[in-house]
Structure 1
């Protein structure tokens, strides 16, 4: 849209410098005055800073603390600008999100934590990561593996690390919604028609893709989504729902979630919405 912009990569290391009482950041790739920035879009990664090393351990500890607070000051200045998401709260606690979603009135499938499958209802319980998307490096493969949502169909003999279990909801279809500053764009995903994507639509079937269409969440659900995002101090993110009968079950929110497929499949032109907001 004709605006000058700076793209910061994950491998950039910035030094905080000052010129004429004005702070500026400098890396091998970019240099800019903090006050000259009008808006910030935090997508992924972050701004990382170079810290100097000193010979004396006590000086090193003191200067590390001083540099920490200087970095904190710079981040506060940047996040006080008009922004989409913040580096500070880009990772949310899924368990706390579900608790807050309940408090806003959203329907949430029953969930619990356990270190064994003694009380699991086979075929009626799913398990997924407590964290966000987990990528595993497979030792016997050149590719990585992803931890998907899975239905528990047999019990484990041994205990394991505390894991997340949730009631399996029989779905009519799934919904992915993109949220930006009080506005919501949604897409219905007919994943239940394909055995490969029935439990987790992220197991994409490239040969026979799910049908995705525009969808409008009911007003009362959208109002609760807005309250949830405000409670989480998030002004952008992707949210997942299951439609089952007349109920809309909230699953999770990803502050830096994918929106490209919603934009493309539903012709929402979200990239333009983002650009105009910034």
Structure 2
């Protein structure tokens, strides 16, 4: 039985499931609004929510896409008993999560939030080129117009910035100084690029696509600021073997067997930017005819 941990209406998950249905494979899809009770029957642990029930030892492979497992906390009238039982339940939940992650898997919930600073350090140790970067709480040493600002974490969204909207935090060029101190922030050298590269990694295999974002002022700094009226040109791309070997070394060091990686091509240099373990890949799969959804289904 295949276990898929995802979110409601997550399109990538649905596309992989279409292949699983075509293959006649049994699977369970868990949504982010499901809350599970941990129970025991015939000395076997099973999990039960309002829409799913499965024995832990029936799961043969796991795909952590997004979201996460949630468990119901048992409540007692005695507060002291509550504190003790919550601690006991924590260890039981930990056992369930670690047991699932020990099975054949694509991604792990525990590896979803990776530290960009540690990733960049490991990338350099693996031999990948990384644009020079530093942390600062002022702009005194920032070279205006030649330095970009990015988040320390992956690709955050600010939900409900107003009553009915969300916002994405994009990469931006620092073009004016700040007069006050601020929280330590990630600054990086602005690289003049030929084009960007999005690579998808799955268990040692790598597929790549060139993104010609520099041709459009709107997407020059961050290609995620999509120009829907005049989309960037994208094309199938093959990274040099030496770069792919370094990617494999990096992913193994980070204990990641799947993810989307971003690079900048500048002259003869390939600059590594970041990894998103649960990044989107459907666009690249479609444009380059990679059938990555089938690759994931086949592995599961």
* TM-score normalised per structure 2: 0.91
Residue of 272, 275, 287 corresponding to 1:250: 272
Whole-Å separation in 1 of the counterparts to 2:106 and 2:131: 29
Note if 1:198 corresponds to 2:198.
Answer: no
Q: Which residue of 1 aligns with 2:294?
A: 272
Name the count of aligned residue pairs.
278
Q: Paired residue for 2:210?
A: 188
- 1:132-171 counterparts in 2 under 5 A? 132-137=154-159, 139=161, 142-171=164-193
Q: State how far apart, in whole Å, the 1-side matches of 2:30 and 2:156 are.
A: 24
Structure 2 partner of 1:10: 32
Partner of 2:73: 51
1:129 aligns with 2:151: yes
**In structure 1, how many angstroms separate the alpha carbons of the residues matched to 2:156 and 2:140?**
25
Aligned CA distance change for structure 1 residues 3 and 135 (closer, same or farther; 3 Å)? same
- Relative distance call for 1:140 and 1:80 in structure 2 (3 A) is closer
Does 2:92 align with 1:70?
yes
What is the SS of the residue equivalent to 1:145?
Answer: strand
Superposition deviation, residue 81 in structure 1: 1.1
Which of 192, 213, 220 is the equivalent residue of 2:242? 220
User: CA–CA distance in 1 between the matches of 2:161 and 2:190?
Assistant: 31
Out of 232, 237, 245, which is 2:254 matched to?
A: 232
Residues in 2 aligned to 1:138 and 1:128: alpha-carbon distance in whole angstroms: 21
- The superposition leaves residues 112-169 of structure 1 with CA deviations (integer Å, 9 ceiling, x where unpaired) of 0001111111111000111122222465573222110001111111121111100000
User: Is 1:262 equivalent to 2:284 in the alignment?
Assistant: yes
Q: TM-score, structure 1 length as denominator?
A: 0.98
Q: Distance in 1 between matches of 2:261 and 2:132?
A: 18
- Structure 1 runs (4+) deviating above 6 angstroms are none
Name whichever of 131-140 and 28-37 sits farther off: 131-140
Aligned alpha-carbon RMSD (Å)? 1.1
CA distance in 1, matches of 2:229, 2:43: 59
In the superposition, relative to structure 1, how do residues 119 and 271 fare at CA in structure 2: closer, same or farther (>3 Å)?
Answer: same
Q: 1:53 to 1:251 in 2, by over 3 A?
A: same
CA gap of 1:198–1:141, structure 2 versus 1, over 3 A, is: farther
Task: Give the match's secondary structure for 2:62.
Answer: strand
Which residue pairs with 2:118 in the alignment?
A: 96
In the TM superposition, what is the alpha-carbon distance from 1:61 to its structure 2 partner? 1.4
The separation in 1 between residues aligned to 2:129 and 2:162, in whole angstroms, is 41
Does the 8 Å CA contact 2:161/2:167 hold for their aligned counterparts? no
Local SS of the residue matching 1:200: coil
Gaps of 5+ in 1: none
